[in-house]
Chain A
Amino acid sequence: MNIVVCVKYVPDATAEQRFESDNTVDRGAVDGLLSELDEYAVEQALQLKEAAGDDSTVTALTVGPEKAVDAVRKALQMGADQGVHVQDDEIAGSDAVATSLVLAKAVEKIGQPDIVMCGMASTDGAMSVVPAMLAERLGLPQVTLGSRIERKENQLAVQRDGDTATEVVIGTMPLVASVTDQSGEARYPSFKGIMAAKKKPLETYSLGDLGVDAGEVGLSAAWTAVEETAARPPRTAGEIVKDEDGSGATALAEFLASKKFI
């Protein structure tokens, strides 16, 4: 079984975000890392491989700037077998449509895998659309947003906790899957894993290698345009009271009444 796991390099969520003058995220400003939500995808990919107990391979794939290779390295340290980094200056500023195109072409070049595994959302963009777009582009079944995942021979069943119902969705491989942060704690790289990762194969593709035209990606090819970004005005400092012998409750009730919530 071949599994490709799509991992994104994202700015650290706890750091302050900034924009460039062209309204794209200033990716140089803050340190980046493998999106925490994609660690869950790596974990599930590794568990599927381990359960298969055969010579299955897990390939970590990222599309992003030079530093994005760190996301692939982390996946290799966790236990992925090989890595692919698609890097090309033209890709900068790509939207989900273009990103999914590059990912789809890279998946095809790696060789049609049995499972393309994704996270539930990028922690920076949080659109949650790339896995569905990948399924659309690759013409594969989409079994996404699984909080639990189970393989039965050539099928994958995921539990999907929707707004109004919990569903079990089944697809036959090859397919595109994604998993949520409910799917199970991701492992930490062990010392052995970190050492081993240094010797694992890591390839870099350019757009040319994938046969993608530069005109199809990047900021200028995006099908949407951000016109303006603005920091939300800081919330005006609220009133904070210390509760002493029930005084806090009375003051809070008073506040709620003054705002007509009671």
Chain B
Amino acid sequence: MSEVLVLVDHVDGAVRKPTLELLAIAKRIGSPSAVFIGGADKADAVAESVKGYGAEKVYVVDDAEIKGYLVAPKAEALQQIADQASPAAILIPSSAEGKEIAGRLAIKLESGLITDAVDVQVEDGAPVTTQSIFAGSYTAKAKVTKGTPIITVKPNSAAPEEGAGAGTVEKVSVTISDAAKTAKIAASNPRAATGRPELTEAAIVVSGGRGTGGDFSEVEGLADALGAAVGASRAAVDSGWKPHAFQIGQTGKVVSPQLYVAAGISGAIQHRAGMQTSKTIVAVNKDEEAPIFELVDFGVVGDLHTVLPAVTAEVEKRKG
């Protein structure tokens, strides 16, 4: 069976959940091979975790000489592994960096690229992707018609599947050109942990907008009662109430949780682009004409400053 390369998304060797989702998708297409580009001392731990989700092979690229450079070296490393493995497909997490790596790789391998897939199935032996387009108002099915399909996949597009693979570690030494080492990462400040679930991975997201008036404590209170991540509209971010990392929408994060709660958010098209595919949508807004109500499964017309604390208390009570 052909290999399917999965680029491991990790922070210092801690494998992030989208990688495990990609391994589940890879199994549908062929034999999953994880590609870990990172610290050699972390390789065993990474191999152990991806093996538990079906990785038959784990390619390890020691990043000691390239981690100080943006994107380009990773694309070169993947190209060299792909040349050797002739994979049936290459799956990459749909992060900003993931898409840039994929873009460069597509040119190098002269292969078709599909970004932001929300589902990948196999038809006639080839991967067929589903994408959500135009702010989530359309879906499109597509496939790659040239070269090795390169597909970037959004978080939450598949459930991780446990099940042991062989997890055979193969160290690869790649040759990285000087041309790929020209965009230097001069500083890197890891984002402070919020103590809440990761926004793009969370099952529940509670977001606040301009209607919060800048006080997010009620939004956060409900989020914590529900075990949810906290999000924000661009108006809230532009007002400096939350950092940009919290922004949901076209120019922020795209989330697709089981439950999305929008408090004091009007529901502009650019915001919808980031949350429209959520399974269940709830809004609290004092304006009954707010466009967000066109999307909701349940809406409360009311003041969030009274409704949210009351719901939070009710949730706490029911949890016992």
Contacts and interface: CB of A to CB of B under 8 A. Distances in A.
Interface of A: 13-14, 17, 19, 23, 37, 95-97, 100, 120-121, 123-124, 126-133, 135-137, 139-145, 147, 157, 160-172, 175, 180-182, 222-232, 235, 238-243, 246, 248-253, 255-257, 259, 261-262
A165 B191 contact: yes
**Range class of the B interface residue count:** 35 or more
B250 A132 contact: no
A137 B110 CA distance: 12
A133 B301 contact: no
Interface string B98-115: 011111101110111111
Contact of B111 (A96, A223, A253): A223
Given A241-B301, A259-B280, A97 B108 contact: no
Interface in B276-304: 276, 280-282, 284, 288, 293-303
B56 interface: no
Counting chain A CB atoms within 10 Å of each CB, the highest count among B128, B137, B184, B270 belongs to B184
B187 A168 contact: yes
Contacts of B204: 261
Contacts of B108: 136
B106 A171 contact: no
Interface of B: 11, 70-72, 75, 95-97, 99-104, 106-108, 110-116, 128, 132-147, 179, 182-191, 200, 204, 226, 244-245, 250-251, 258-259, 269-270, 276, 280-282, 284, 288, 293-303, 306-307, 310-311, 313-315, 318-319
Contact of B144 (A168, A224, A240): A224
Nearest to A163: B95
29 contacts: A13-B270, A97-B112, A100-B103, A132-B104, A136-B104, A142-B72, A163-B95, A163-B96, A163-B200, A165-B189, A167-B70, A167-B188, A171-B183, A182-B244, A226-B140, A226-B142, A232-B136, A232-B276, A235-B281, A235-B295, A238-B295, A238-B298, A243-B301, A246-B310, A252-B284, A253-B318, A256-B282, A256-B311, A262-B318
B189 A166 contact: yes
A249 B311 contact: yes
A140 B70 CA distance: 12
Given A142-B183, A230-B140, 11 more contacts: A126-B116, A127-B103, A162-B97, A163-B191, A164-B11, A168-B187, A229-B133, A230-B138, A235-B281, A242-B300, A262-B318
B256 to A, nearest CB: 13
A129 B96 contact: no
Contact of B184 (A137, A144, A171, A223): A171
B168 to A, nearest CB: 28
Contacts of A143: 70, 183
A136 B99 CA distance: 13
A178 to B, nearest CB: 10
A129 B300 contact: no
Contacts of B189: 165-167
A127 B293 contact: no
A116 B155 CA distance: 31
Contacts of B226: 256, 261-262
Nearest to B259: A261
Contacts of A180: 251
B182 A171 contact: yes
A250 B137 CA distance: 32
Nearest to A260: B258
Contacts of A164: 11, 190-191
Contacts of A229: 133, 138-141
